[in-house]
Structure 1
Amino acid sequence: MKRIILTGSSSGFGWLTAKTLAKQGHIVYATMRNVTTTNAAVAQTIRQWAIDHDAAIRVVELDVTSDASVQQAMAEIADDANGQIDVLINNAGIVITGLNESLSTEQANQIFQVNVLGADRMIKAVLPYMHAQKSGLLMHLSSGLARLHLPLLGAYSASKAAIDALAETYHYELRALGIDSVIVQPGAYPTTDLLTKQINPANPGVEEVYGETILPIKRGIAHMFTPTEKSPDPQEVADLIARLVETPAGERPLWNAIGIGGVQPYVEQLNQGTQQLAATVFNAIGVTVPA
C-alpha cells in the first residue's frame, strides 16, 4: 500500500486514476480546486464512491498555482499519512487551442503556471518527505504533443515540452537517491473532457488575418478530439499509471508513450534519441548518471 498524491482529480485521467489506484489498495489523496464551491458535487461523488467501494480516497483542496494552497494541503496530507509520501502524480493541467497570436500574455502565463510551474511546485513540496524516507516516485502526465508540435496547440505543446524537460532532469538528479521521476505521454483521448474545459483565446479576431489557411488545421484538430467507436479508452492511461506505481524502483522507464496512434513509434524514437543524446553528453563530460 502506497500513499499517493494525485492532482487534477476531479475528472478525466485524474478521476479514473484515483479509482484504479484505490481499487489496488493504495491510499489516494485526490486533490482539486474549489471542493466546497464549483467542485463540491464532484468531491461528494468521489467521497461516496470511496464509501461504496470501501476504498481509501481522501479529497483535499489544492490549487497547484498557489504556494499557500500547496503548503496547507501538504500539511493536511502529511498529518494524515504520518509523514509518508510515496508517490506524486502531476496530472493537473489546462489546454488552450488557438493561434499563438490569439492568446494573451496572461493566458500563456496561465497555462505555464498550471502545467509547468504548478507541477514543479508540487515536486518541491513532496521531495523533503521522499528524501527523508530515501524513496519515492514522481510521475508527470505530459502529452504526445510534447514531441509533436501542432499549430493551434502551440502554448499547450510548449508547456508539455517544458514539463518533459523538467521531469527528465529530475530523473537524472534523483535516481541515485532512490527517487524515480517518470513521464507519461498520452495521445488524444476524445472521450475525456480535455477540450470541453479549455480556455478560449483572448484575441480570436486575429484569425481574420489568416483567412482560410487555418481552416484545414481547425478541422484536423477537431477530428482528433471527436469521439468515435474507435476512440481509445482513457482507462488504459490509468492502468499504465497503476503499473508504473507497482513497478519496482529503478526499473520504471523514463518515458511512457500511450495512445498516440500511428505516430507513436516516432514519438518513442524521439524519446530514445533524447535519452541516448543525454548519455553521450554525460559520458563525454565524465559524469555517471543512472539510466
Structure 2
Amino acid sequence: MPSIDRRTLLAGAAATTALAASASRAQPDAVAATPDLSGKAILITGCSSGFGRLGAEHYARLGAKVFATMRNIPRPEAEELRQLAADDKLDLHVIEIDVLSDEQVAQGVAEAERINGGPLDVLVNNAGIGISGPVEVQDMEATRLAFDTNVFGYHRLARAVLPGMRAQKSGQIFAVSSQLGRVIVPYGGHYSANKFAVEAMFEQLAYELVPHNIDVTIIEPGGYPTEVWVNRNIYTGALKERAEEIHKAGYPEVVARMGTEDGSGRTADAMDVPRAIAEIIALPAGTRPLRRAVSGSAIPQTQINEVAAQTQVAWLGRSEALGPLVRAVHD
C-alpha cells in the first residue's frame, strides 16, 4: 500500500475526542467570501436544472474550467448554458452524459479530459431522480431506474474519473446525497434506500482513496425548490398508472397523492449547495470534510453523523492496517 502522508494521523483516543466537533459542523466553515477555483477542472452531472445547473455557472464564475453534463442533447438547457459561456466568456463546456449509459459516461469523461489536457480535478456526482410512494408499490421498473440513476450512475462516474485522478495523485469527488440518506420519511419510495447506499459507498471510497491523496465529500441537502419536484411527479405519476391494484389497495390515501407533490412552497436558497461545494473545493487537500449537511432549516442527521464517525474510529481506528485510513478521514 502506498505511504499515507497527506494528513497528520491522530491516535485512537485523541481522534475520537476530536470527532464530535468536526462531525457536527452543519454549515460551511468561515472561508473567503469568494472562493478562488482558478485552475480547477470540474465535471458535474445533471446540469439541466437544480443544483447542477446552478453549480455549473457558479464554479465557472469563480474561475474553474467546468464540464456541465446532461442527457438528451440537443436540448434548450444545453444551448442556454453554451450561450451563457459565450456571452460571459466563461470556461464552461457542455457535454452529453446519460449516467445510465456506460458508453456515454466513458466517452464524456474522456472528452472532458481531452479538452482539459489531462485528468479532472473535481467530480460532482449530482444527477438523480425521485419516485415516491409506498415501498410495496414500487415495481421493478421503478426500482431498477431509481438505483441505476442514483447509485450506479454515481459509481459509473467515479470509476471513470479515478484512473486520471490517481495518476496525478490528487482530486476531489462529491456525492450529492440527502438528509434522507441518514433519516427516513415513510412513503418516499426507494429514495432513502438509494441515498443510504450512496452514503455507504462514498464513505468507503473516502477511506480507500486516502493513499492516493483524493478527497471525498458527501453533501446532504435538505429540501430545496428545484425541478426535482416536477420530475418526481412525472415518474411517480407513471408508476401510479401502471402499478397493480393488489399492491395499491393497501395504501389508498397515499396512492391518491402520488404524483401530486408540490415543492413550490419551499423558500430555501438552492444556491446554498453550490456555495458549500465551492467553499470545500477551495479548502486545502486533506482538510475537506467527509460530510457536509446543507439546509435552510432543520438538520436532523447531525447526531447520526457524529455517532457514525465516532463508531468508525472506535471500531477500526486502532487497526494496524485500516486504522490509518479511517483516522485520516475523520481526524
Structure-1-length-normalised TM-score? 0.91
Q: Superposition RMSD on alpha carbons, in Å?
A: 1.9
**Alignment match, 1:235:** 271
Residue 301 of structure 2 corresponds to residue 267 of structure 1: yes
Residue 237 of structure 2 corresponds to residue 176 of structure 1: no
**Alignment match, 1:5:** 43
Tell me the CA shift for residue 176 of structure 1: 3.0
8 Å Cα contact 2:134/2:251 also seen in 1 = no
**Alignment match, 2:187:** 152
Alignment of 1:193-272 (within 5 A): 193-198=227-232, 199-200=235-236, 201=239, 202-203=242-243, 205=245, 206-212=247-253, 214=254, 222=261, 225-228=263-266, 231-259=267-295, 261-262=297-298, 264=299, 266-272=300-306
SS in 2 for 1:261: coil
Paired residue type of 1:15: R
Tell me the CA shift for residue 284 of structure 1: 4.9
Paired residue type of 2:187: L
Higher-Rg structure is: 2
Rounded to whole Å, the distance in 1 between the matches of 2:210 and 2:158 is 14
Tell me the CA shift for residue 204 of structure 1: 6.8
Change (3 A) 1:256 1:204: farther
SS in 1 for 2:210: helix
Rounded to whole Å, the distance in 1 between the matches of 2:117 and 2:155 is 23
**Alignment match, 2:61:** 23
Paired residue type of 2:67: Y
Paired residue type of 1:277: T
Residue 164 of structure 2 corresponds to residue 164 of structure 1: no
Deviations 1:95-140 (A, max 9, x none): 0011111111121111111111110111010001001100000001
Q: Bigger shift: 156-165 or 193-202?
A: 193-202
**Alignment match, 2:108:** 73
Rounded to whole Å, the distance in 2 between the matches of 1:236 and 1:283 is 33
Deviations 1:56-89 (A, max 9, x none): 1100011111111111112211111112310000
Rounded to whole Å, the distance in 2 between the matches of 1:128 and 1:245 is 20
SS in 1 for 2:250: helix
| Identity of matched residues, % | 36
Larger relative contact order (Cα-Cα within 8 Å, sequence gap ≥ 6):
2
Paired residue type of 2:288: R
8 Å Cα contact 1:144/1:260 also seen in 2 = no
SS in 2 for 1:83: coil
SS in 2 for 1:18: helix
**Alignment match, 1:134:** 169
Change (3 A) 1:154 1:276: farther
Rounded to whole Å, the distance in 2 between the matches of 1:53 and 1:95 is 33
8 Å Cα contact 1:85/1:129 also seen in 2 = yes
Structure-2-length-normalised TM-score? 0.80
Aligned pair partner of 1:123 in 158, 161, 164: 158
Tell me the CA shift for residue 260 of structure 1: 6.0
Paired residue type of 1:9: C
Tell me the CA shift for residue 211 of structure 1: 3.5
Count, aligned residues: 279
Rounded to whole Å, the distance in 2 between the matches of 1:56 and 1:67 is 26
Tell me the CA shift for residue 222 of structure 1: 4.3
Alignment of 1:50-129 (within 5 A): 50-129=85-164
Deviations 1:128-159 (A, max 9, x none): 10011000000010000011111121401100
Rounded to whole Å, the distance in 1 between the matches of 2:182 and 2:280 is 21
Tell me the CA shift for residue 261 of structure 1: 2.2
Rounded to whole Å, the distance in 2 between the matches of 1:46 and 1:76 is 18
Rounded to whole Å, the distance in 2 between the matches of 1:95 and 1:147 is 16
